[in-house]
């Protein structure tokens, strides 16, 4: 087990510089660059506030989007620094660089309880480099900014990146509050979950979720499949899917999974079909064995929502990852909303597996507190459930003092 933030606080951090890798990768409006969902920033607050209150001098590293390893104004963390400052009730200046002259000067000038945000770590090509020496050189510069490292970026622990993995090799390190909370929940999902254990998977592609399906099928009581990925399963059952998203190369795999799982895989019985991928398209609800050849399914239908609700009604443990349809467009929101409400109503542990599912909960205005846990890391959650080794967690578990 990794050392915890409480272990670090017990040792005392007043006057010490603490580098916190946070997950502040929030969605921005393309035109205004306003933050459209600050959930990840809010999730970082418990660790940052605890360090501030203990008198630490906090240096925060984070990424935003996928810049090409060079400074790009559209991916600047400036909006994040402003919002983080609002939420902390204190100014959070943004360094002009990642670990360059401005970052060094500002980090050196911090007072007890101050917070500095470094510019987007992905402005440095070395952050995501496959070359250990390149990542190491950036990690050396980042480590020089602080005395101790806290990883609180659960959404990035599956990446072997300089600010996630290599820095922890160079400094005394602990897991932040968010990483600890995520791990506690995922451990409950993977070790003796209370039954019935039901997993709900959506999203667009079977290929993206194949590994987690293979890993979970032996462990779950029921697997409910919606979203674009359901059409490849429906095709495997012999149904025509019109112009719906279809991964033809995965049909045989889906056929095998259906044969292995029997009735434990539950598929939609009806879908909302549309003439085009558009909020203005003509729509109709059709049975899954009667999807017109010129239409695409963009949401699960009302009978499916009812059926999935029945499958969830007696569940004691639920993991949901992936929307049931194109919830960003109003005509195709009902499926995701209905299933999200059924997950929230579960009398037991309900976990929303990050990514688009967490975004859907917030965009649809659902009560976040109705869920046992909303993960900040979709990809990291799935890889953990697949049983894969996550570099950011492996390095934290090493108790080495740098």
Q: Is 356 annotated as a binding residue?
A: yes
One of 136, 325, 338, 355 is an active-site residue; which one? 355
- List 16, 17, 21, 40, catalytic entry: 40
Q: Find out whether 297 is annotated in a ligand binding site.
A: yes
CB 277 within 8 A of CB 296: yes
311 labelled ligand-binding: no
Q: Burial level of 196, CB count in 10 A (0-12/13-18/19+)?
A: middle
91 is in an annotated binding site: no
Distance CA 290, CA 297 (A): 11
In which residue are the tokens 């670090």 written?
A: 8
Indicate which residue of 228, 338, 379, 392 is catalytic.
379
Beta-bridge partner residues of 35: 28
Write down the catalytic residue from 3, 42, 188, 205.
Answer: 205
d(CA 92, CA 84): 7
DSSP 8-state code for residue 65: S
CA dist., res. 320 & res. 199, Å (int): 6
130 is in an annotated binding site: no
CA dihedral for 183, 223, 241, 359, sign (positive or negative)? negative
Q: Would the annotation count 64 as a binding residue?
A: yes
Would the annotation count 66 as a binding residue? yes
328 is in an annotated binding site: yes
40 carries an active-site annotation: yes
The reply to whether 205 belongs to the active site is: yes
Q: Is 177 annotated as a binding residue?
A: no
Supply the DSSP string of 169-231, one letter for each residue. GTS-EEE-HHHHHHHHHHHHHHSS--SSEEEEE-SS-HHHHHHHHHHHTTT-SEEEE-STTHH
Q: Determine if residue 117 is labeled as part of a ligand binding site.
A: no
* Residue 188 among known ligand-binding residues: no
Tell whether 40 is in a known binding site.
yes
24 annotated ligand binder: yes
Cite the annotated binding site for substrate by residue number: 23-25, 40, 63-66, 122, 159
Cite the annotated binding site by residue number: 23-25, 40, 63-66, 122, 159, 209, 297, 328, 354-357
**Residues annotated catalytic, as ranges:** 40, 205, 355, 379
Cite the annotated binding site for ATP by residue number: 209, 297, 328, 354-357
Cite the annotated binding site for (2R)-3-phosphoglycerate by residue number: 40, 122, 159
């Amino acid at each position: 087990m990794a050392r915890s933030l409480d272990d670090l606080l017990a040792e005392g951090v007043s006057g010490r510089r603490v580098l916190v890798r946070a997950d502040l990768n929030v969605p921005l409006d393309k035109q205004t660059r306003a933050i459209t969902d600050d959930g990840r920033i809010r999730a970082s607050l418990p660790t940052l506030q605890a360090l501030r209150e203990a008198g630490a001098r906090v240096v925060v590293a984070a990424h935003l989007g996928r810049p090409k390893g060079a400074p790009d104004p559209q991916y600047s963390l400036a909006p994040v620094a402003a919002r983080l400052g609002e939420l902390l009730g204190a100014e959070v200046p943004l360094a002009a660089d990642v670990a360059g002259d401005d970052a060094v000067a500002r980090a050196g000038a911090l007072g007890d309880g101050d917070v500095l945000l470094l510019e987007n770590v992905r402005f440095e090509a070395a952050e995501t480099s496959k070359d250990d020496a390149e990542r190491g050189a950036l990690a050396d510069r980042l480590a020089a900014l602080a005395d101790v490292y806290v990883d609180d970026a659960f959404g990035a622990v599956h990446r072997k990146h300089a600010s996630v993995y290599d820095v922890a090799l160079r400094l005394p390190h602990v897991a932040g509050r968010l990483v600890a909370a995520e791990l506690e929940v995922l451990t409950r999902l993977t070790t003796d979950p209370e039954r019935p254990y039901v997993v709900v998977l959506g999203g667009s592609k079977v290929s993206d979720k194949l590994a987690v399906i293979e890993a979970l099928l032996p462990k779950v009581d029921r697997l409910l499949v919606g979203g674009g990925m359901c059409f490849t399963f429906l095709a495997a059952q012999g149904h025509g899917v019109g112009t719906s998203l279809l991964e033809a190369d995965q049909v045989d795999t889906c056929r095998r999974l259906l044969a292995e799982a029997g009735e434990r895989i539950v598929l939609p019985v009806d879908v909302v079909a549309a003439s085009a991928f558009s909020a203005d398209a003509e729509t109709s609800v059709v049975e899954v064995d009667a999807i017109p050849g010129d239409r695409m399914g963009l949401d699960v239908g009302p009978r499916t929502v009812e059926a999935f609700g029945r499958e969830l009604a007696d569940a004691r443990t639920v993991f949901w990852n992936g929307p049931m349809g194109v919830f960003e467009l109003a005509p195709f929101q009902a499926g995701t909303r209905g299933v999200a409400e059924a997950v929230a109503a579960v009398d037991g542990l309900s976990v929303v597996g990050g990514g688009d599912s967490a975004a859907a909960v917030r965009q649809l205005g659902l009560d976040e507190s109705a869920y046992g846990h909303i993960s900040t890391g979709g990809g990291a959650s799935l890889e953990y459930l697949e049983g894969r080794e996550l570099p950011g967690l492996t390095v934290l578990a090493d108790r080495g003092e740098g």
